[in-house]
């Protein structure tokens, strides 16, 4: 009989990190008489963004962090939106700022994102923070890559010298994750659409001791491609026949892997908590 992979339960891992943050925030409150205050800036009412904001609010409240959602109309000009970010940046009562995507076409997301001060950059997306991450000089790191690293650490398996293969090379997941894995001395391969076009995805996936998939294509990776005993972290979120599934075919992958994240309930719940962790780090930076 085949042994099944151990499930990396995101809710359980998120709870352990939440407990730690709750303690830190309580300690900040008694020492400084204040707690981190985070502001989520959203333009319009995209349903996915609203659902994400609701879960952020719930988690912030559980930890004891103050959380505010600032909603702007779709018609806001680039100039007014820039000014809103500049004002939040200057406000000493705001410790962290997050910019929700999507933004309307007339708003240049990256220009505005770079107005967020590096000490308030909740998502670690400011170019300066990305640069600091490259040098291993900041604790404010993009949330999803951090969540992936927490899942890998929770297995207790050493990353050093392992073959880590990332499928998906976006600026918010795959690329920053590759830096974090190199920092831990994994040998890292980053695959993307051109790897598939060249017909070489299976070959790379098959070498992975640690496989992370962040593409957004339901069941792109069948279990038969996965090296027996691999750690599999599935970041993908896809809706198929009204159900949420990942980028990895879970049932067949579970027969090959040693550890695997479910979708939903794997990387997602930890990502939200990492936003709060960044809020706590930002607060520490501003009060040190």
Positions touching ligand NAD (CB under 6 A) are 144, 167-170, 172-174, 191-193, 195-196, 201, 214-217, 220, 235-238, 267-268, 271
Whose Cβ is closer to ligand NAD: residue 42's or residue 220's?
A: 220
Whose Cβ is closer to ligand NAD: residue 84's or residue 235's?
A: 235
Whose Cβ is closer to ligand NAD: residue 139's or residue 170's?
A: 170
Whose Cβ is closer to ligand NAD: residue 171's or residue 229's?
A: 171
Q: Please state the closest distance from residue 155 (CB atom) to ligand NAD, in A.
A: 18
At 180, list the tokens.
Answer: 């974090």
Q: Please state the closest distance from residue 236 (CB atom) to ligand NAD, in A.
A: 4
Q: Please state the closest distance from residue 148 (CB atom) to ligand NAD, in A.
A: 9
Q: Please state the closest distance from residue 137 (CB atom) to ligand NAD, in A.
A: 24
Q: Please state the closest distance from residue 247 (CB atom) to ligand NAD, in A.
A: 7
At 258, list the tokens.
Answer: 């040693």
Whose Cβ is closer to ligand NAD: residue 149's or residue 201's?
A: 201
C-beta of residue 267 within 8 angstroms of C-beta of residue 148: yes
Whose Cβ is closer to ligand NAD: residue 29's or residue 243's?
A: 243
Q: Please state the closest distance from residue 172 (CB atom) to ligand NAD, in A.
A: 5
């Amino acid at each position: 009989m085949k042994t099944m992979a151990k499930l990396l339960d995101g809710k359980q891992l998120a709870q352990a990190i939440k407990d730690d943050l709750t303690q830190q925030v309580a300690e900040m409150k008694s020492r400084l008489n204040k707690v981190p205050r985070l502001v989520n800036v959203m333009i319009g009412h995209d349903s996915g963004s609203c659902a994400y904001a609701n879960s952020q609010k719930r988690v912030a409240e559980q930890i004891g962090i103050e959380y505010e959602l600032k909603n702007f109309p779709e018609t806001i000009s680039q100039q007014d939106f820039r000014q809103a970010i500049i004002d939040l940046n200057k406000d000493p009562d705001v410790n962290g700022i997050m910019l929700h995507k999507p933004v309307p076409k007339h708003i240049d997301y990256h220009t505005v994102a770079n107005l967020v001060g590096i000490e308030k950059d909740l998502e670690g997306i400011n170019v300066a923070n990305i640069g600091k991450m490259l040098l291993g000089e900041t604790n404010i790191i993009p949330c999803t890559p951090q969540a992936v690293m927490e899942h890998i650490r929770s297995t207790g398996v050493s990353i050093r010298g392992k073959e880590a293969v990332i499928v998906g090379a976006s600026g918010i997941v795959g690329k920053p994750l590759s830096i974090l894995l190199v920092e831990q001395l994994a040998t890292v391969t980053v695959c993307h659409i051109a790897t598939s076009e060249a017909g070489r995805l299976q070959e790379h996936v098959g070498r992975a001791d640690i496989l992370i998939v962040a593409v957004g294509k339901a069941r792109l990776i069948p279990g038969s491609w996965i090296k027996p005993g691999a750690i599999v972290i599935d970041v993908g979120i896809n809706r198929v026949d009204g159900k949420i599934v990942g980028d990895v075919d879970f049932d067949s992958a579970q027969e090959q892997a040693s550890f695997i994240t479910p979708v939903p309930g794997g990387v997602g719940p930890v990502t939200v908590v990492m936003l709060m962790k960044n809020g706590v780090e930002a607060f520490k930076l501003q009060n040190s």
